Chain A
């Protein structure tokens, strides 16, 4: 604090405070400056403390957010065990249904597909299934699909990506069945409380 500053403060104080008037007449200037600063330091300290506390709180909160909101926590696969089990189950049973058919029973499979497939997956399936229906009738072909293992790669509240290992058994009447293994990536969406397959891709 400069000397002129101290003088100004004292004179303005004196106008309001009789005690200061007494001080101006009775005590020398330096001590008044000391007195004023002694009255100020709790305010300065308080302000500093306030700022420091708010800054600390903010920094800790930000750090906490950073720890909690990571790309890892945004993915609910396995962390939400119930949802993970549910989407795995829904998708597995849907795949077994839509990729299993026998001669003369393709209509049922087609109807099932419309209840579990949507969007792009349904379009892909309709294209594919036209050929399958003809083949199945001509060659007496039966296809049975079983899910060997399904895992969730990414899960949010209403969408999921899965990796599925399938076994497909083809049976032509009068021949030994052949088994083919396949792996698919599946995108599913939760609509009206049910998981719908919206996209099927080969890995």
Chain B
């Protein structure tokens, strides 16, 4: 009985150093590597979500999309759907521009109702010229083709170049200023 126990102890210690340990070490190394991989993946994920360039690029594209849509809305008006059109104008704007539109809405609606015009607009191209993410402000330039159809005569097609300022609101980017790019102001 006692002899046997000694033999057992011997075999066990021999087994531990001879066969089990390298495997155990390899397994441990594998687990450590796997933990490293998980940690690295997590770090990459964290970096990505805190990547300023990525969020800046996204803000730029959001601002441009909103700006082009707003400029198009502001140049689209059908006298048969005046209220709907003017609502979309107000939804596309904020700040001073929004206030001006709200104040002038009734007069403007009357004018369009009398002129019976239908304006449609198509954005030809647009670019963001400046973006201040912290201030929530962006400048856009948009080339636009506007077609105005009056009850009589041929539709008038006009290409216009617009400069707009966008402000970020809770409801996304909205136009806070919009005007034609000045002509002749830079020519000497």
Which residues 7-54 in B have Cβ within 8 Å of A in the complex? 7-8, 11-12, 15, 27, 30-31, 34-35, 37-42, 44-49, 51, 53-54
A40 to B49, CA, bound (A): 40
Is A181's CB under 8 angstroms from B126's CB?
no
- Kindly state the separation between the CA atoms of A75 and B62 in the bound complex, as whole angstroms: 13
Which of B4, B8, B44, B186 makes the CB contact (< 8 A) with A167? Answer: B186
Complex Cα distance A72/B53, Å?
A: 10
Within 8 A of B (CB), among A156-192: 162-163, 165, 167, 169, 179, 181, 183, 185
A183 to B180, CA, bound (A): 12
CB contact under 8 A between A53 and B45, given known A73-B54, A77-B127: no
Smallest CB gap from A147: residue in B: B186
Docked-complex contact B58 and A183, CB < 8 angstroms: no
Contact B159 A18 (CB under 8 A): no
Q: Does A86 contact B (CB under 8 A)?
A: no
List the one stretch of A1-9, A54-62, A105-113, A122-130 in contact with chain B: A54-62
A46–B33 CA distance with the chains assembled, in angstroms: 12
In the complex, what residues of A have CB within 8 A of residue B161's CB?
148-149, 165, 181, 183
User: Shortest beta-carbon distance, B140 to chain A, in Å?
Assistant: 8
* Nearest-Cβ distance from residue B124 to partner chain A, whole angstroms: 4
- Judge whether B127 and A22 touch: CB under 8 Å: no
Assess the B159–A183 pair: CB atoms within 8 A: yes
Q: Which residues 42-101 in A have Cβ within 8 Å of B in the complex? A: 43, 46, 49-51, 53-54, 56-61, 63-65, 67-68, 70-73, 75, 77-79
Given contacts A18-B11, A63-B48, A162-B127, contact A148 B186 (CB under 8 A): yes
Q: B127 near A153 (CB under 8 angstroms)? A: yes
A19 at the interface (CB under 8 A from B): yes
Q: List 14 A-B contacts (CB under 8 A).
A: A18-B11, A49-B34, A57-B39, A60-B41, A64-B49, A70-B57, A78-B56, A148-B182, A148-B186, A149-B163, A151-B128, A153-B125, A163-B126, A167-B184
Nearest first, the 5 closest Cβ-Cβ pairs linking A and B are A151-B127, A57-B41, A60-B41, A64-B48, A57-B37
